[in-house]
Amino acid sequence: MGFQKQFWRSKLLDTSNAPQDHASKNMAENEQELLERLGGPAAVADFIKELYERVLADPALAPFFEKTSMDRVRKMQYEFLVAALDGPVSYSGAELTAVHRGRGITDQHFATFCGHFADVLEAHGISSADIDLVLSRLSMAKDKVVGTTNTGG
Ligand code: HEM
């Protein structure tokens, strides 16, 4: 587990890790199957619930969510992720850049957040290869979450 977390931290902190893999049709097909291997949308909803339990228990991340409706974030994150995995759900939430802008979210926060998600998936017996695929999908949102205008207020 330690190795994998470290692996993801370093991979997510590396901005050269561009989403170019995702263009190919094979990748899209793999990810269709991926959602099924994860257990489908219902399993994703469970994973997200557990993700935010871990996030709120982490002193490095909890303060970001102090004034947040967690019910809404869980629902929107569920929609976002199932849609990102080409599942049968549309994302109805706010644009991610606007949601995260000005909150001071750094590369490190992003990597820690994704590390919690990897831990949840691992705890459910998802294979390392599939964890890798899920986190590649999430990392496509990184530029929208980690702001360049963090200190701008
Ligand atoms: C791949 C990573 C992430 C994705 C896909 C993501 C996605 C989302 C989504 C879909 C929402 C709800 C939008 C809405 O209410 O319409 C949200 C809200 C939020 N996210 Fe993220 N997020 C990510 C990472 C992070 C990280 C790393 C942090 C902070 C450490 C963070 C902090 C927040 C906060 C504070 C809100 C709630 C804002 C409010 O109170 O309205 N997110 N995010």
Pocket test residue of 77, 136, 150 for ligand 1, highest count of atoms within 8 A of CB: 77
Q: Left, alpha or beta for 86 (phi > 0: left; psi -120 to 50: alpha)?
A: left
How high is the pLDDT of residue 147?
A: 76
Percent of the chain whose pLDDT exceeds 70: 75
Q: Which of 68, 76, 145, 150 most suits a substitution to test ligand 1, by most atoms within 8 Å of the C-beta?
A: 145
Q: Which atom of ligand 1 is nearest to the CA of 69?
A: 40
**Per-residue pLDDT at 153 exceeds 70:** no
Cα–Cα distance for residue pair 118/66, rounded to 1 Å: 23
Tens-place pLDDT, residues 20-39: 444 455 555 565 589 999 99
What is the per-residue pLDDT across 48-88, written as a single tens digit (0 to 9) for each? 999 999 999 999 999 999 999 999 999 999 999 999 999 99
Contact 31, 130 (CB under 8 A): no
ipTM over 0.90: yes
CA distance 143 to 39: 28
46 Cα–ligand 1 center, Å: 17
The domains of the chain, with CATH numbers, are 27-148 (1.10.490.10)
Q: Rounded CA gap, 15 and 110, in Å?
A: 12
Q: What is the pLDDT of residue 32?
A: 55
- In a 10 Å sphere around its CB, with 0-12 CB exposed, 13-18 middle and 19+ buried, how is residue 26 labelled? exposed
CA distances from 143 to 1, 3, 89, 98, 130 (A): 26, 25, 23, 12, 22
Residues within the annotated binding site for heme?
A: 100
